[in-house]
Amino acid sequence: MDVDFLHKMVEEACSMGASYADIRLQELEASGISVKNGSMEEASVSRRRGVGVRVLLEGAWGFSSTEVVREEEVRRAVANALKMAKTSLGARRRKAGLAEVPIRRVSLSSKVAENPVHVDPGEKAGLVLELEKLMRSRSPAVKDTHAFYGDVLDRRVFVSSEGGEVVVEKTRVRFAAYVVASENGALSPAYEAVGGVKGFELMRGEEPYKAAESAAERAVRLLKARTPKGGLAVAVLDNKLLALIVHEAFGHCAEADLVLSGDVLTGKLGQRVASELVTIVDDPGPEHAYGWTPYDDEGVEGRKVVIVEEGILKGYMHSRETAAEMGAEPTGNARAQDYSFAPIVRMRNTYMEPGDWKPEEIIAETREGYYLKGALGGQADTNGEFMFAVQEAWRIERGELTEAYRGVAVSGSALEVLSSVDAVGRDFKIGFPGTCGKGQAAPVDGGGPHIRCRIMVGGAR
């Protein structure tokens, strides 16, 4: 569909009464290979495209999307969006507005060494079969294996009635390894994933092999592990678990739409919310991170947001609407899952800055506690309370790792946990691809160093 036609449509929306209009045209081309238990399960390809139209009419939003990308249907979507806005006119108490931003006309693509679209599907399948075989080869105790490869080419064209035109093309590649080990009636699951805004070169490197081996070895290693006695404990968290806590338990609370609804960080700008060792950032880059967002879905150039600096709350993440409401600068955090959703405030790549401890020193100088590694997902509330499942836990006694545990979960209040941080490692790592859910799915990344804190540890038999 011609970009000039999109410009014409936003002008038409404004001529029909909208004070602002934007259109997002998106095309997605994806492929996936799934291998389970030694057998090629399925290969898939998909092509999707659609258009989302957003209009602002007397301070009320209307949104309409269609998967039928023909001129008459897009024109109908524009009319529908206006109709939607009119239906909510009387229902709004506050009028929505938009903070001013520089209007951009830009086109950019992620840097990819090997475009996965051009890789023969047979070669992709062969590689995934090899990785799955590697998982099974680690031990006879490995019983259930699933290796999955997926790539997606995501092209988004944003056009606004202010004259903005932003085209961003991203290629993402992801590999996931899932293993269940079983022995004498005991079952132990493990999971690893690698990915990024990268091409097929990711699959030709060591990372997928390490992920496959790591998942298989952990599943087997934890077969005989016990679960720990629960309670508040000193814990050293690895980069991956820290990434999840920083994102889920803390980061969401710094999203301005949730701040406006009254979360645990509302009204706390300039106040201490964490230990002085803690600095937390949400970043549109680095370029190959899974959540790379150089421009958001409002056509706003992404900028780095320092959320917490040395323990002090410094800023929130914004869309144009929340920035207008709070008198702040837009940060490029308005993201939409796809054309069928309107953009909302989302994180991108969120991490804790490194400190000066060597990770091994943190463990060596811990008399009694746990070393908690990896995460299997979890949940958090806007009051900062969280719960996460941990992949693997080790008992620390007099600075040494003594016993492995499984079935471990951690919980607590993000502010309390971050305030208890007394050691931050120098080992910075980012590259834990994930899909964040907030009513819409968004690819995100995160990371940080090893840290030590106090956290509630729970287990299960």
Window 3-22: residues binding other proteins (CB under 8 A): none
Window 216-235: residues binding other proteins (CB under 8 A): 227, 230-232
> What distance in Å separates the CA atoms of residue 66 and residue 84, rounded to the nearest whole number?
14
One residue of 11, 12, 61, 272 binding other proteins per CB under 8 A: 61
Token look-up 């080419």 returns 153
> What distance in Å separates the CA atoms of residue 32 and residue 28, rounded to the nearest whole number?
13
CB of 447 to other proteins, least distance (A): 22
Which C-beta is closer to other proteins: that of 93 or that of 398?
93
Is residue 384 within 8 Å of 414, Cβ to Cβ?
A: yes
Task: Report in angstroms the alpha-carbon separations of 289 from 137, 176, 193, 386.
Answer: 31, 16, 13, 25
One residue of 85, 127, 414, 424 binding other proteins per CB under 8 A: 85
One residue of 97, 285, 286, 459 binding other proteins per CB under 8 A: 459
Window 287-346: residues binding other proteins (CB under 8 A): 340, 342, 344
Binding of other proteins by 401 (CB under 8 A): no
Binding of other proteins by 441 (CB under 8 A): no
Is residue 68 within 8 Å of 79, Cβ to Cβ?
A: no
Range list of β-strands (E), 91-164? 105-109, 142-160
Binding of other proteins by 281 (CB under 8 A): no
Binding of other proteins by 113 (CB under 8 A): no
> What distance in Å separates the CA atoms of residue 214 and residue 207, rounded to the nearest whole number?
10
- Which span sits near other proteins by CB under 8 A: 256-264, 306-314, 352-360, 426-434? 256-264
Which C-beta is closer to other proteins: that of 136 or that of 348?
136
Which C-beta is closer to other proteins: that of 313 or that of 423?
313
Which C-beta is closer to other proteins: that of 364 or that of 441?
441
Which C-beta is closer to other proteins: that of 412 or that of 425?
412
User: Residue 30: CB partners within 8 Å, gap ≥ 6?
Assistant: 44, 45, 46, 48, 150, 151, 152, 153
Which C-beta is closer to other proteins: that of 165 or that of 381?
381
Strand partners, 35: 40, 147
Binding of other proteins by 94 (CB under 8 A): yes
Residue type, 397: E
